[in-house]
Structure 1
Amino acid sequence: MKNLLLFVSLVFILAGCATKEHFEPEDTIGSYDNTKANLSAQITSMNKDGATLDNGEIITKRGLSKFKIPEGYNFLNISDDKVISSNYKDKILIDKQEIEVSGVVVAASLKDNKLALLYSDNSIELRDIAENKTLLKEYFNHSFVNDTRIANPYFMSNIVLFPTLDGRIIVVSSTNKIVKNIVVDPDGQFNNITFLDVINDTLVAATANKVISVGDGVLNLKNYNVRDIIAHGSYIYIATIDGQIIKTDISLNIIQRKKYKYAKVYALAYGTSLYALESQGYLINISDDFKSDAVYDFGFDNERKVIALGDTIYYDDEYIILK
């Protein structure tokens, strides 16, 4: 009987493996033919705003940079024209200026002399680096499991938007007081803010489970299992776990959508139109009006780190600028 149960279990396991589905386009139009270029080293760490190479060079939204951060530090952000990196222990660097901090900094932004920090214990700090003093420090619910794509704080005119690890956006005024607590996703297992942007005076933010927009006093909330999300112009593009690619306006009204059965999108990018990098080695290009698409063969090692910034995809030890 024991052997029979073992056999039945094995049959179910093998059947599950045999029926596991992958994205398989009916046809491709060959390899994507835009010129590839080599990175100087492999990507070792990354977030939504850039990546660190294992030789200390960095990738930012502005492209490849020869600026080097010291060994043991990882890129967080380029903010106020300065590179911010963390040793994930007790220090950050603003360009080459070392600043001691009270814990592990996982996100940071700078404007003038104000430094906005998010710590791994889900506390936030606003610091005056000219006078070396803390202007605000607050603690929120500890988050033990986080998506690695942690959004950085955002300076917006006279306020600071702090994304937290427990699915909130904390709004801090010019007088260094918390004036609003926007709850994006209080319940998800991976509910840290992974995307934060302000488009035409509308705040757009996302976790792995939800997308919100806040503008003119109106909050819009949509439930999506998000694989990736980007903004381009006045539009938001969302790739979901179930293979959908969705185009919305900044109020999250759906303009167009397409579904690619079993597709697992690693990253979205925008050249002259939208691109989606799919895990089985395909690059999907969708026209701006979503009426047509093309699927290219695009080989890459999906066990390695991949990041898309603007019109460029960085993968393995190469990158490609999209048409």
Structure 2
Amino acid sequence: MRYAKIVFSLLALLLVVSGCGTKRQYFEPEALAGKVSYDGSLPGSIVDAVRDGATLSNGQVITKKGLSNVLLPEGFVYLGEDQGRYVAASKCGALQIVDASKKVLFTKECSVSVASASLKANILALVLGSNELILIDINDGKEMMHLKQDNVYVLDSRIAAPYFLGDLIVFPTLDGKLVIVDAQSKKPIRDVVVSNEKFFGNIIYLQVLGDRLVAATKSKVVSISPKSISFLEKEVKDVIVLENRIFVFTKDGRVILADADLRVIKERKFPFATFAGTIYGDFIYMIEKGGYVIATDLDLVSTNVYKLPDEIESHIFTTGDALYYKDHFFKLNRKK
């Protein structure tokens, strides 16, 4: 009995020590430059967000242009847009393309949920939750390509969408690859493995600037040009590409400035900061989950921190000059 008591006491002590050792620490700015206030309310709360848009509880959509008048069908969320046509999907695999007048332009029932989608002219590019890559002609509903990739079981919720690049279509797969498809023949011509992690290894970022393609998983960034392929291994939270600069935001609160070939130029660390989103232009605004906006110049020299009205606990969406959270929005240049 005495032995059992000793073992129990040791286990209890280990739990206490372990609990203390894993206690979360929070970002605390040394000084505040001001406060950010809400500018107005939204007609509903944000229930889902992707990189290029967000869905409100009333079915309306926010895109990079701002709040749209389109109303998605009940149970559907926004995936993409092309010339006033909105791609939306349900959790059960139903997909629709609707216009601003709620006219249904195309429908499809998929066997599994749609992870991401992009539309250009009459071509719809889909990445299914089963890691299948599909091209569909929405004029006649026929599949022009259907590629099955390796099975995946656990995904990062940040899922990149296919990208139309001239005569190419770039598919970001759920197992960490870029599959480049010829738009004319509808056949894959090249694969680029960004990361081969079995869990949470999907492509979370995909962007093209000029002749350069930049993509990322949660652990690696790749920059591809006609002359070279470069990699940067970091615990990635987000990526921004501005001209010949690549900004990598990490899970441990660092902002890394690299050149186009991912050679690190400079980095700044914001201890215990957890980045929830970013806005960029002449400055970079990092939205910190504890309820702050961290503003820095493009050279990572000067920094100002502003207090948000709330901590970030759910979906947010950002445009060039605004941040949308819950059922409110505000402009980042409005302070008091």
Question: Is the 8 Å Cα contact of residues 301 and 316 (structure 1) preserved in structure 2?
Answer: no
Matched, 1:168 2:177: yes
- Specify which of 26, 30, 34 is matched with residue 30 of structure 2: 26
Q: What is aligned with 1:57?
A: 60
Q: Any idea what SS the aligned residue of 1:176 has?
A: coil
In 1, Cα distance between equivalents of 2:57 and 2:263: 41
Q: Structure 1 106/11 Cα, relative in aligned 2: closer, same or farther at 3 Å? A: closer
122, 134, 137: which one aligns with 1:125: 134
Query: Which of 79, 86, 92 does residue 76 from structure 1 map onto?
Result: 79
Distance 1:219 1:188 in 2: 23
TM-superposed deviation, 1:143? 1.1
Q: Tell me the CA shift for residue 234 of structure 1.
A: 4.0
Counterpart CA distance in 1 for 2:329 and 2:246 is 24
TM-score (norm 1): 0.93
The letter of the residue matching 1:99 is: T
1:148-297 aligned within 5 A: 148-173=157-182, 174-187=184-197, 189-297=199-307
Over residues 186-230 of structure 1, what are the superposed CA-to-partner deviations in whole Å (9 max), with x where a residue is unaligned?
125211111111101101111111111110131111111111222
Partner Cα separation in structure 1 for residue 239 and residue 270 of structure 2 = 16
Tell me what 1:99 maps to: 107
Deviation at 1:80, TM superposition (A): 4.2
5+ residue gaps, structure 1, are none
* CA distance in structure 2 between the partners assigned to 1:121 and 1:130 by the alignment: 25
Change (3 A) 1:110 1:298: same
Q: What is residue 11 of structure 1 aligned with on the other side?
A: 16
Select which of 141, 144, 147 maps to 2:156. Answer: 147
**d(CA) in 1 for partners of 2:270 and 2:237?**
13
Q: Secondary structure at the match of 2:110?
A: coil
8 A Cα contact 1:57 1:68, kept in partner: yes
Q: Distance in 1 between matches of 2:124 and 2:24?
A: 48
Check conservation: 2:80, 2:119, Cα contact below 8 A: no
**Cα deviation digits, residues 10-58 of structure 1 (max 9, x gap):** 43145236x532211221123136x622221111111222111110001
Q: Is the 8 A contact 1:73 1:85 kept in 2?
A: yes
> Comparing 228-237 with 88-97, which one deviates more in the overlay?
228-237
Tell me the secondary structure at the aligned position of residue 242 of structure 1.
coil
Find the aligned partners of 1:14 and 1:68 in 2 and give their Cα distance: 47
- In terms of mean alpha carbon deviation, does 303-312 or 175-184 score higher? 303-312
For the Cα contact (< 8 Å) 1:167–1:192, is it kept in 2?
yes
Distance 1:62 1:261 in 2: 33
Q: Secondary structure at the match of 2:231?
A: strand
Partner of 1:304: 314
Distance in structure 1 (CA, Å) of the matches to 2:117 and 2:83:
11
Distance 1:32 1:288 in 2: 21
Distance, in Å, in 1 between the alignment partners of 2:173 and 2:285 is 29
Partner Cα separation in structure 2 for residue 147 and residue 293 of structure 1: 30
CA distance in 2, matches of 1:266, 1:152: 19
RMSD: 1.8
Write out per-residue CA displacement over residues 39-95 of structure 1, whole angstroms, 9 at most, x where no aligned residue. 211111112221111100011122211211010111101134421001132321111
Contact 1:212 1:222 (C-alpha < 8 Å) held by counterparts: yes
Inter-partner Cα distance in structure 2 for 1:143 and 1:36? 42
Match of 2:90 among 63, 87, 92: 87
Write out the 4+ residue segments of structure 1 that deviate beyond 4 Å after TM superposition.
Answer: none
Tell me how far 1:233 sits from its aligned partner: 4.0
TM-score of the superposed pair, with normalisation by structure 2: 0.90
Say if 2:64 and 2:318, in contact at 8 Å, map to a contact too: no
Question: Within 1, Cα distance between the matches of 2:326 and 2:122?
Answer: 37
**SS of the residue aligned with 1:229?**
strand
CA deviations 1:76-115 (Å, max 9, x no partner) are 0113442100113232111122412432222111122111
Query: What is the count of residue pairs matched by the alignment?
Result: 321
